[in-house]
Every structure is written in structure tokens, then in C-alpha cells.
Structure 1
Amino acid sequence: MRAPAHILPGSGQDGPSAEAGGYEGTRARVEHYFDRTATRVWERLTSDAPVSRVRQTVREGRDRMREAMLSRLPADLSGARVLDAGCGAGQMTAELAARGAHVTAVDISPALVEIARRRLPRDMERRVTFAAGDMLDPVHGAHDYVVAMDSLIYYDAPTIAAAVDRLLGRISGAIVFTVAPRTPLLMAMWQAGKLFPRADRSPVMVPHSPARLAAAMAEAGIPARLKEIERVARGFYISTCLEVAR
């Protein structure tokens, strides 16, 4: 269930509020968008194919964010189990497997999972298990680390806290994830996005500050620390990397 915390042309949002329907309802909308509307866009964006100047900034931002997230994990992941929660087209999955990790790569979109499976180098296939479905499903088992790049950006603070709590019960290390930051720039992008055709719009993102997320976790009684790692801003891509550890 992956999307960038940014505004692509045609992805106009209406404001910083969560979509109705809670986790299940929002997840269904995200699945519909990425599996039926945006698959070709994301396949091209995550490849080496030429893209527009706007989408090039998104590509660069995502590359930098992936580096920031990977910096929180050991360089040698031999034997470690990592859940790529929202694997998208598989760029993070391939880098984790290249470090020696056994990766469970999950995405809400079966179409994106197939792209990720097709792109994975053959010599890494034995270290990756792909699955289409809910990244929080306990069927995926226990892991040492979880990475969730732009997978939780559509949810409000209590829902993110609940997701973190569910994942913490099945890992021994840290959860590294991203959120859309609450900034004037992002609000301006929401307004600009309204100029584009409704048919191309992505689901609504919910901006957060680390302090508000930490407060939501504390209110839920989650015994973990939230740490801000890095904010990445490249043109139309803006996202904040956070880490949760016990």
C-alpha cells in the first residue's frame, strides 16, 4: 500500500482530514486507486523511463527517502527478517534482499506486487516472499524490522498508533515508517492539486507532526519511543521518516 507523501499532477486533495471509514474503509480506497487507477503511473515512476519534471522530483525524493530509511537498519541484514509493509513496485524490497535479509514484501495492490515480483533479480528470489493483502495481517508472521515507506500516510494519528501497536507485537527491532508532515508547503500543494482532473486524484493524505503522533501512542499506552529521523523535500515530494522502537 504505497504512495508518496506528495502531490502528483492530478492528485488534488481537499484538506488535512482523514477519509471516512477508518482503517478498513481507507484501505479499500487506496487499494482501488493503486490497483485500478495508478498502476501504470507507478510502474513508470519507479523505473528508469523518462518522466516529467514534476515526477522527476518525486522520483528523486523517493530515492532519498529510501536511503534515509535503510540507514536505520544494519548494513548487513544476513539472516534478519524484514517486513516491507507496502512494497509497491519493489525497490525497497530489492535493496533489503541485497543486504541479505529475508523479506516479506506485502502490498494492498496485487498489480504492484506482480511488478515487484517481475523486477526482482533472480538471484534474490529465494530471499523474498511476496503477498498481496493487508500489511498488518498477522499471517505474515514475526520479523526483526518493519519498513513502511509512504504506506501509512492516509490515516489519522489514532489509526497509525494502533497499526504501530499491532506491528510491535511481532518484531524484535524497530519500525521505520513515513508520514506526510504538517507544513505550509504541503497545504499549498493540496490547493494546487484541485486544478487537476478529478479522475487522476489520489486518496487524501493526512499530515502529522511527530509530537502529535507520539501523543497518540502515549494515549494508547504503547510502550515505545517515536523518533524523527529525517524530512525529505524534493519538489512535489515531501515526507518525514520516523522510527519506533521499544
Structure 2
Amino acid sequence: MSATRTYDATRARVEGYFDRTATQVWDRLTSDAPVSRVRATVRAGRDRMRGVMLSRLPSDLRGMRVLDAGCGTGAKTAALAAQGATVVAVDISPKLLAIASDRLDPAHAGRVTFAAADMFDADLGNFDAVVAQDSMIYYGAPELAERLNALAPRAGQVVFSLAPRTPLLMTMFWAGKAFPRADRSPAMVPHAAADLGPRLDGTLTEVERVTSGFYISTCLELAP
């Protein structure tokens, strides 16, 4: 199967999970509502990773157009808008976009455009920066590299996170199979930056790894 067909098939599974199966799960996870111990580690890890990714961008984003690729329920979108960016917040789940829109401070609404679309869609235009937190973790290296190589020329920098290929992660991943299905998302694909980097046209830098219980992810940055 070609990289394009593989990507499309995986995207369809991810869309089904987030828009039809787990909307309430992610609404709760990304709020301050009480959650299970497993989800609490994921929440803490995601909060930490969001901070790491935002730290790669200037603190003053006025005049910058930023793509929040796979914005989910919008925590990063809100932070980018608060820092002055013009934000295009994209997700394949209209239900998650609705939550993100509802949570956005009305004072910043004029700087944000929400779109139910593929995060790699060229019709979204060009950007000063792209941030993609854990939205690319379900794709294999061939299809991911194909999409990133097409995206990078439209962005000054691409900051994204992937699951690292480590013995610890693989142990945790297989152990996670024993948890109730409600605690499980579509299967992630671990990557080693050293293997993915040569497939990319730009320079891939490993920024920081965040580990929090059942959450483990690495922040990467792709530059021309």
C-alpha cells in the first residue's frame, strides 16, 4: 500500500475515534474534572509537553500566523492567541473543535479560525510556525515524512511531538492493552529521530522528552 493510501486509512480510524468514540473522554481529560489515575498521568504529561512546544516560539507572537495542527479541545490554540498570534486551529473532529471554540476566551476569538480539515492540507496556506502536539503519533515513517516534506516549505518552523521508540515505551504500550478500552486510543507508532531525520528534507532536532506515567512523548523541531 502506498504512503498516501496508508495515511488516509489511518486518518479515517483516528477520526472515528476522536469524533465518534472518545469525544467525552477527551473533553474530560483536557478539563479540570476528576479523572482516573491513568488519565491523570496523561493530563500532566500533555500539559508539560504543551509548555515545551510553546517555548520554541517567541513569547510575543503578534504578526505571526500559526497553525495548530490537530488542535483538539484547544488549550494550545488559546495560549497562542493570548500571545498575539493569528491562529488557524485545525482538527479532523468537528466535535472537538466545538469544544475548543466554546472554551476560547471571547477576547481572543477574532484571532482564531477553526477548521475541520486535514492538518496537512495545502489549502490552509502558509505559516510562520506550525505546532502539532501528539497529532502525528499514529502514522508510520513513510507517510509522515511525505506529509512533513510537503508542509515544511509552507512554514518557518514545524514543532511537533512523537512517541519515541524506547524499550520503556514499548513495555508501557503493551501493558496498556490490559486497561479498559475507554482508556485506550488508536495505536501510536513509536519513532526514533535518528531514523526519521534522514527521510526529511530539513534539519530535525530533538528538543525534549516528556515522561509522565503512561504518557511519553518527544518534542521535535523541523527547520529548513
Question: Structure 1 length as normaliser, TM-score?
Answer: 0.87
1:209 matched to which residue of 2? Answer: 192
Mean Cα displacement is larger for which, 100-109 or 48-57? Answer: 48-57
Are 2:174 and 1:191 aligned? yes
Count of residue pairs brought into register by the alignment: 222
Mean Cα displacement is larger for which, 21-30 or 77-86? Answer: 21-30
1:94-243 aligned within 5 A: 94-171=78-155, 173-198=156-181, 201-217=184-200, 222=201, 224-243=202-221
- The answer as to whether partners of 1:68 and 1:230 remain within 8 angstroms in 2 is yes
* Aligned partner of residue 162 in structure 2, secondary structure: strand
- The answer as to whether partners of 2:39 and 2:183 remain within 8 angstroms in 1 is no
Mean Cα displacement is larger for which, 81-90 or 135-144? Answer: 135-144
Query: Residue deviations 1:115-148, cap 9 Å, x none?
Result: 0011000000000000011011112111100000
Q: CA deviation at 1:162?
A: 1.1
Among 56, 63, 76, the alignment partner of 1:72 is 56
* Alpha-carbon separation, structure 2, partners of 1:51 and 1:196: 15
Q: CA deviation at 1:194?
A: 2.2
* Alpha-carbon separation, structure 2, partners of 1:133 and 1:87: 11
With a CA cutoff of 8 Å and minimum separation of 6, indicate the structure with the bigger relative contact order. 1
Q: CA deviation at 1:192?
A: 1.3
Q: CA deviation at 1:95?
A: 0.3
- The answer as to whether partners of 1:37 and 1:200 remain within 8 angstroms in 2 is no
Amino acid at match of 1:166: A
* Alpha-carbon separation, structure 2, partners of 1:198 and 1:234: 20
User: Which ranges of structure 1 fall in alignment gaps of 5 or more residues?
Assistant: 1-18
Q: Which runs of 4+ in 1 moved over 3 A?
A: 196-201
Amino acid at match of 2:204: L
2:35 matched to which residue of 1? Answer: 51
Q: CA deviation at 1:200?
A: 5.9
Q: CA deviation at 1:198?
A: 4.9
Sequence identity percentage: 64
More helix by share: 2
User: Which ranges of structure 2 fall in alignment gaps of 5 or more residues?
Assistant: none
